Chain A
Amino acid sequence: MTTNDYLAKVLVSQTLGEESDELKALQERRADVEKLLRQHFEKSSPTIRYGGSKAKGTMIRESYDLDVICYFPHDDTGAGETLEDIYNNARKALEGKYLVAPKASALRLKDPNPSNRAADFRIDVVPGRFTDTSKGDAFLYRSSGEKKRLKTNLDVHIKHVKESGVTDAIRLLKLWKVRNVLSIKNFVLELVAIKLLKARAASGLATQLEHVWKEFRDSAEKVSVEDPANPTGNDLSELLNDGVRSELTTVSRRTLKLIEESGWEAVFGSVDEKSKDDKREGLRRAAAAVITPTKPWSQGV
């Protein structure tokens, strides 16, 4: 199997098919969220649709969530006078049924049932307001940071990623980010990857990934990104701060070394999925091989 065949198999293993249990559960939940929002904001006629990796085609099984945007018409005040009001009113609407964890611009939905201990439904609702009748640009509320308003455009973002020709490389880089617990935001990694691979869309996946890692290893301080939806208005530099760049450099250097010494499987692992029984048997054998057993404790009462 060639490296590119192997990477293609990794991608298949990371694909959430339309018929997969995970995606079905998300879609059912999404339908419920949409119903809830439409009932609550009946007179405001919000636009509710998929955003994020689902819309951009960059979702991976290892770490997925669903962004549901809920944008109100530019002249609507029924959902709230200000962006902050919209954000808070959407939160109130969802709190009737969900445990809502506020994020910078989104609302994360969790299970309110105490016996399920706030299980994460992996859904982010992003409230906002269109800037005009064209329903392209939208303003989002930002609950943190100096600027309390963010201008964005979902269609521009989707187009930018989908038409980049490098969505497979993006998905693998996201998997690499997850496996190495890197703090770079997904959408920043997407934008960086697109920029670095601009002239390499026709290259093989392995070449593309190695190029990105070499850039991170050798010139992370020079990497910059612009928000395609608002290139001059949204400053993304803080999202690529020294800490984030240092992580990218360190982990890229080690990744490239690992490929050189042990091959690609050392980076993304085996693509052969183990059966439950094989896994159980292997884990039992691993436990039997432990020389110094230790027991866990719990601080909780």
Chain B
Amino acid sequence: MKGEWIEREPMYLSFDVYNCEYCGKNIPRYVWIEDIDGERRPFCTPEVADIYLRTRSRNDPNRRREDSDLGLTDQLRLIRQNCAGIESEA
């Protein structure tokens, strides 16, 4: 994996919106940027980027890889554990 954390700064002259490439959530400030095939793609965390690489079709992020080693329920369990804002206190 090739990536880095960045802190999004509110800009006047450009408006950058970062949606996690997997869960889709708008990430307000701290974004993990993963380099995938030369493209910089945003994620909630590095772990989510890893799940994305293992489960998503590279050509169409809106489709799942059929040969993924993770079933849907397992994928989503990992996403729950790693995407921003989902933190249990119970």
A binds B: no
- B interface residue numbers (CB < 8 A to A): none
- A interface residue numbers (CB < 8 A to B): none
